[in-house]
Amino acid sequence: MKPYMLVGIIVTALIYVVLSCNENCAPTVTKCQLMGACGKCIMGNCSCCENCTKCLGEEYFDCCDCVGLCKHNNTHRPYHTKSTVMDIDSSIPSLFDALTGFANNPKLRISVQQMPVEEEFYRPKGVEFAELSNRTCVVTFFDDCLSQEKCERACSTMGASRARWFHNACCECMGHTCESYGKNYPHCRECGV
């Protein structure tokens, strides 16, 4: 490919992103498109949904419309469902597994939930992620509300791989078997909306 063609493609992609998206999404969406993670994503043909979702990361809900993956009636989420996600560098899978095994202990004040890994990713009905099937993601929700800093520290202390802090102060910790950021809605027992 000639250099001027590559520049033309990049400029065209940038113009498309800027004109069709939230301006905050332009850098992330452009990066994902240039990497090929979101190049041919369309509703109903989700051959790139998994890679695109991972590439967009925590900006997925704000930017999914830029790459054609949003349900148009679900682009504005209530405040309590918005969240901040964090990767934890020093995860200890065996500790997380041990603590989630004691989920019925009321002194821990957490609830443990399991879900198939493919439920972590948005996908249109009827589209399957074959390589993720038969795997389970284990997440915990603290019963009480926590600050964002305390949420990250608590998840790190229990050996989690990732943390999600919902804007209603609900804290979710994801185990090492999760591929993304767990459940997209808060499930803390005593941390209301």
User: Which residue ranges make up each domain of the chain?
Assistant: 3-74, 79-174
CA dihedral 130, 121, 56, 43 (to 10 degrees): 80
Closest listed residue to residue 49, CA positions, set 131, 58, 40, 181: 40
Contact 55, 84 (CB under 8 A): no
Q: Rounded mean pLDDT of 1-23?
A: 51
The pLDDT of residue 172 is 94
Cα–Cα dist 109/47, whole Å:
40
What pLDDT is stored for residue 75 in this prediction?
A: 43
- pLDDT tens, position by position, 34-70: 888 876 665 555 666 777 878 887 777 677 777 776 6
Residue 126 region, left (φ>0) first, then alpha (ψ -120 to 50), else beta? left
Nearest-angstrom CA–CA distance, 101 and 20: 46
Q: What is the C-alpha separation between 138 and 191, in angstroms, rounded?
A: 20
Q: What is the pLDDT of residues 70-121, one digit of tens each?
A: 655 444 455 556 888 999 988 999 999 988 887 666 777 888 988 887 665 5
Residue 11 — very low, low, confident or very high, per pLDDT cuts 50/70/90? Answer: very low
